[in-house]
Amino acid sequence: MNKKVFLLALITIIIWGSTFAAIRAGLQGGYSAGHLVLIRFLVASGAFLIYALWPGVRFQLPRKDDIFKILILGWIGISIYQISLTFGEQTIEAGAASMIISSAPIFASLIAILVLKERLSIYGWIGLSIGFIGIILITLGTTGASFHMSTGVFWMLLATITTSIFFVFQKPFYKRYKPIELMAYFT
């Protein structure tokens, strides 16, 4: 494996894996959910701006017919996701939040089957079934002894569904744009 790819993948995993604990710590450290979302957007936007202005980096501007789709997809996959994730972590633990969010591939697979007409093998369907059972067990485990779903779990499921929609519907854009360009536009 390419060392650079391995290093970048490792950094991504570390950052993504620590995000849930960092959000929880920020919420307990006195920041409101809204403030944390704003801070995360400002940091990400600043990083993209620095990258875009870096000598030798060229961004292709989006086509006119893609601008509205990119705005809507960014609103769903970035804004609603981040808001739901942060508000959800106000009432559930970081571990439960990360487990619920990690079920996004299940929802993304179902959306891809319905929207993109993709097909799953029998093993894919077995995996989806096991994943749904896991979501149910985590949801019940985070709501206490009653069968009512907590507000935090609702927010986390909303975040999971929005990120799944984001993953599926951005696929056609990769034929026209580089991944870094798309993330900059979405953010």
First to last CA, the chain: 30
For residue 179, what pLDDT is reported?
85
Taking alpha carbons only, the member of 120, 124, 111, 116 closest to residue 165 is: 111
- Taking the C-alpha atoms of residue 181 and residue 59, their distance in angstroms, rounded to an integer, is 6
3-state secondary structure of 1: coil
For residue 101, what pLDDT is reported?
86
Contacts of 141 (CB under 8 A, 6+ apart): 96
Q: What is the 3-state secondary structure (H, E, C) of 56-102?
A: CCCCCCCCHHHHHHHHHHHHHHHHHHHHHHHHHCCCCCHHHHHHHHC
- This prediction's pTM: 0.80
- Taking the C-alpha atoms of residue 168 and residue 73, their distance in angstroms, rounded to an integer, is 10
DSSP run (H or E) holding 55: none
* Token duo for residue 35: 């403030």
**What is the C-alpha radius of gyration for the chain, rounded to an integer number of angstroms?**
18
* Token duo for residue 132: 């749904």
Boundaries of domain holding 124? 3-186
Q: Are 89 and 97 in contact (CB under 8 A)?
A: yes
For residue 84, what pLDDT is reported?
93
Query: Domain count of the chain?
Result: 1
Q: pLDDT means per 10 residues in the chain (187 residues)?
A: 87 85 87 89 87 80 92 93 90 82 87 88 87 75 58 89 94 88 85
